[in-house]
Structure 1
Amino acid sequence: MTARQAVILAAGRGTRLGPLTLDRPKPLLEVGGRPLLLHILDALAGAGIERCTIVVGHLGDLVEREVAAAGVPLSLAFARQEALDGTARALAVARPLLQPGPFLVTWSDVYLEPAAFASLLAAARLPALGALLVNPVDDPWAGAAVYVDGDMRITRIVEKPPPGTSTTPWNNAGPALLDAWVWPFIEALQPSPRGEYELPRALAAAVEAGVSLAAVPVAGPWFDIGTPESLEAARRYAEARRRGKVRP
């Protein structure tokens, strides 16, 4: 079954971006002259998504107003995460608004080429219960190390491994294709050392329990916009793309 619905997690404060997010939420920071969240919504619509639930929190009213005024070609709903206690809890807030069947979930601070979402959705036709976008890095210590077998099936996910200890080049890129099997793993989560209920930990538990997840390499570049430096890198790429200096 092909997923036609998505959830965007857009509730966080973006504290590492400093003053940039004091009065403007991270999803509305501009990349290529357009708010990041609108790039994501356009890409999802282009990939075949028809309905999207956006989970808001920090400056959520502003997010809702600007998205509603943009006239994106999707059926939209908003859910509010009152306590900013992690991405797994954020996804759970959206659960009542989802229809039965698979759904794509993505972060509002991950900037990708539209083709990346299309490749993730195509994984719904593979013999797996879900899929996770992965990107190659020198050392996945800053994110989550994703171990795979020869068929790119995920065998293990290690969140925030100590630097230099991973033997896989694959990092959890964020967006995932999930279904109802994920809810028991979210409900069973314990808080991380940071005191948050984190979605990657739920996915790691699912893999450990035998849930079959496909690893889908990112098509094109990947930007995790969590710092002023990464935001500037995404902006430079978007400008080069606009000028035709890079191909998507």
Structure 2
Amino acid sequence: MIHIKALILAGGYGTRLRPLSCSRPKLLFPIAGRPMIEWILDELSKNGVEEAVLASHYMADMIKGHLGDKYRDIILHYSVEAEPLGTGGAIKLAEKNLGDGEFIVLNGDIISSPPLREMVQRHRSMNAIATIMLCKVKDPTHFGVARLTKTMRIVEFIEKPKLGEAPSRWINGGAYILSCEALNHIPAGRKVSIEREVFPELASTGRLYGYKYVGEWFDIGRFEEYRRANKTVLGRVSGGKIKVASGVRVEADAQLKPPLYLGSGTIVGRGAVLGPNTSISDSTIIGEDGKIVDSILFKRVHVGRGSTVKGSVIGEGAYLGDCVNLGEGCVIGDNAIIHRGVTLKGGVAVCSNKEITKSISRPRIVI
């Protein structure tokens, strides 16, 4: 046990994940058959964390309704913003729940396996006011990039540098150890960005440090990254096998290709081909000769006979008629209806409750 509390920043709107984030917070998006927030809490549990605070705003009641007051061995508290306060403001608002020692902060849209025990030890040994998990990227031009000393002290972050001018390839990985002293640097009662306002101030104290992390890291801010996270996590937890929940019925001649997850009560028709890298949530129906690959299906989806879904994400209760074809990168909103024989080329997004009767040949959003 490390006897330290954790704060999960869970208040974002998930605007780049619309239309599916219009009806649920992204922390409840399924990854390998389980909501994203459960994977985050599992990492805290592995590191011995016994108490966590969820700082939320958007659809906060849905998160609390799913988790309740305890997840496995972790006691849960909720800090709800009346209006968005940013990453720093959310931390400040939750101050009363964090005690008077160090605490962990995790960005709720990051899937990773942060070495929290080691980060806490490093934080204490350096007498740091804040320790930031750093991740190495190939192209740092879209991120804030850390300028580091040999002792891993962070001098500054350079925002979106040109490739040849980046001080390193190490970026903010969305996991922090903060001393309670750091809270004194966050103004109360207004929106505050910890990345743009607080960390530069902490760097000037000489007590802002980095911890280089190498491992799984996904920023679930776009559907492409969301599907990549599902593929990687599914492959890891399934051991390259097929994971099947209770009450699944698979008809004759269906082909199941791992890694693949089939949720409770799912029905797979004759001759269907499912997987690899596919998660299918509860109570979904896949018709005869349906083909689904590299995709994520939410609950209660219906895929008609002879339909093909490739590299797509389909929202809860959506209905695909027979002989529908979805190209790479399609997103179908909750309860949308795609009629028989319709083809949607890659990159088409259909908003919730819409009805599509004709094929669409180029990327667009159907509102």
Q: Taking structure 2 as the reference length, what is the TM-score of the superposition?
A: 0.60
Which residue pairs with 1:121 in the alignment?
120
Whether the 8 Å CA contact 1:116–1:219 is kept in 2: the answer is no
Instruction: Please report how far the alpha carbon of residue 123 of structure 1 lies from its aligned counterpart in structure 2 after TM superposition.
Output: 2.3
- In the TM superposition, residue 70 of structure 1 has moved relative to its aligned partner by 7.0
* Residue 15 (structure 2) aligns with: 15
1:192-223 superposed Cα distances (whole Å, 9 cap, x missing partner): xxxx521112112111232x133112241110
Paired residue type of 1:234: A
- Structure 1 residue 69: Cα displacement: 7.5
Comparing 91-100 with 70-79, greater Cα deviation is found at 70-79
Secondary structure (helix, strand or coil) at the match of 2:228 reads helix
- CA shift, 1:187, in A, is 1.4
How many Å separate the matches in 1 of 2:141 and 2:90?
Answer: 24
Distance in 2, matches of 1:242 and 1:43, equals 13
1:203 partner letter: F
Match among 230, 235, 238 for residue 230 of structure 2: 235
8 Å contact kept, 1:8–1:54: yes
| Aligned residues of 2:3 and 2:50 also touching (Cα < 8 A) | no
Range moving further from structure 2, 219-228 or 160-169: 160-169
- Distance in 1, Cα, partners of 2:10 & 2:18: 17
C-alpha offsets along residues 38-88 of structure 1, whole Å, 9 cap, x if unaligned? 111111121021211101111100000101177331111101012113111
Q: Return the letter of the residue paired with 1:73.
A: D
Q: Percent identity?
A: 26
- Secondary structure, in 3 states, of the residue corresponding to 1:106? strand
**Alignment partner, residue 217 of structure 2:** 222
Specify the code of the residue in structure 2 equivalent to 1:22.
C
Mapping for residues 17-166 of structure 1, pairs under 5 Å: 17-68=17-68, 71-113=71-113, 115-129=114-128, 130-158=130-158, 160-164=159-163, 165-166=165-166
Answer yes or no: is the 8 Å Cα contact 2:89–2:188 preserved in 1. no
For the residues of structure 1 that align with 2:98 and 2:69, how far apart are their CA atoms?
A: 23
Match of 2:202 among 197, 201, 206: 206
> Distance between the aligned counterparts of 1:182 and 1:69, measured in 2?
27
CA distance in 2, matches of 1:15, 1:140: 23
Report the RMSD for the aligned CA atoms in angstroms.
Answer: 2.1
Conservation of the 8 A alpha-carbon contact between 2:9 and 2:107: yes
SS in 2 for 1:133: strand
Compute the displacement of 1:148 (Å): 1.2
Q: Take 2:75 and 2:188, find their aligned partners in 1: how far apart are those partners?
A: 31
Structure 1 residues 94 and 207, CA, compared in 2 at 3 Å: closer, same or farther? same
CA pair 118-81 structure 1, distance change in 2 beyond 3 A: same
Q: Distance between the aligned counterparts of 1:239 and 1:60, measured in 2?
A: 27
- Alignment match, 1:176: 176
Specify whether residues 70 and 203 from structure 1 end up closer, same or farther in structure 2 by C-alpha distance, changes over 3 A only.
Answer: same
Q: Please, which runs of 5 or more residues in structure 1 have no aligned partner?
A: none
Residue 163 of structure 1 deviates from its aligned partner by 3.5
Residue 4 of structure 1: aligned partner: 4
SS of aligned partner of 1:203: helix
The answer to whether the 8 A contact 2:93-2:188 is kept is no
Report the alpha carbon displacement of residue 11 of structure 1 after superposing the two structures with TM.
Answer: 0.6
What is the Cα deviation at residue 188 of structure 1? Answer: 8.6
Counterpart Cα distance in 2 of 1:28 and 1:123: 32
**Would you identify which runs of 4 or more consecutive aligned residues in structure 1 move more than 4 Å?**
none
Residues of 2 paired with 1:79 and 1:141: CA distance? Answer: 34
Bigger strand fraction: 2
The answer to which structure, 1 or 2, has the higher relative contact order (CA under 8 A, 6+ apart) is 1
Residue pair 2:10, 2:107 contacting (<8 A) in 1 also: yes
SS in structure 1 opposite 2:19?
Answer: helix
Q: Partner of 2:326 in structure 1?
A: none
Deviation string 1:26-46 (CA, Å, 9 cap, x unpaired) is: 111111211111111111121
Contact 1:3–1:103 (8 Å) recurs in 2: no
Higher mean displacement: 216-225 or 10-19: 216-225
Contact 1:53 1:97 in 2 (8 A): yes
* CA distance 1:3–1:199, change in 2 (3 Å): farther
User: Cα distance, 1:18 vs. partner?
Assistant: 1.2
TM-score normalised by structure 1 residue count: 0.87
Identify which range, 118-127 or 219-228, moves more after superposition: 118-127
Contact 2:69/2:75, CA 8 A, preserved across alignment: no
- Structure 2 gaps of 5+ residues are 241-367
